[in-house]
Amino acid sequence: MAFENKGPEAYYFERLEQGIFEIQQCAGCGKHQFYPRILCVHCGGSELIWNKPSGTGTVYSYSIVRRKPEAGGDYNVVLIDLEEGVRLMSSIDNRVATDIHIGQKVQARIVHRDGAGVVVFDAVEATHA
């Protein structure tokens, strides 16, 4: 396994800290998976490889968390379906919370927040009318 004496979760976060976003792919069935695990969720295989996803995806669902301006203001929580067939939770950074819509095309990037690498997304199309 590529994570040499580390669990897959530790490896994933270590790579994010290095500015690299990777997800697992099963060598047996060829399917991708996210969140990192030691076995394939599709076939139970144990030969999992790490590869860089395209980073492109679409908004499956979203929620707006309302906060007072002095508490940081509103923010969004989104579920993103990546082209590789996995779904992950994140946020869209380049849009105000009310300019997000289901089906919106997005592109991943890594930012550092609170000392850790985090995957966030940017909308890649015009705002929804």
**Per-position pLDDT tens, the chain of length 129:** 455 567 999 999 999 999 999 999 999 999 999 999 999 999 999 999 999 999 999 999 999 999 999 998 999 999 999 999 999 999 999 988 889 999 999 999 999 998 899 999 999 975 555
7, two tokens: 């669990």
Give the predicted TM-score (pTM) of the model.
Answer: 0.86
71, two tokens: 């508490």
DSSP 8-state assignment for residue 92: B
d(CA 28, CA 48): 8
What confidence score (pLDDT) does residue 1 get?
46
CB 102 within 8 A of CB 59: yes
Q: Which residues pair with 121 in a beta bridge?
A: 92, 108
Location of structure tokens 């819509």? 101
Which domains are present in the chain? 8-51 (no CATH), 56-123 (2.40.50)
d(CA 57, CA 124): 10
Q: What are phi and psi of 16, to 5 degrees?
A: -60, -40
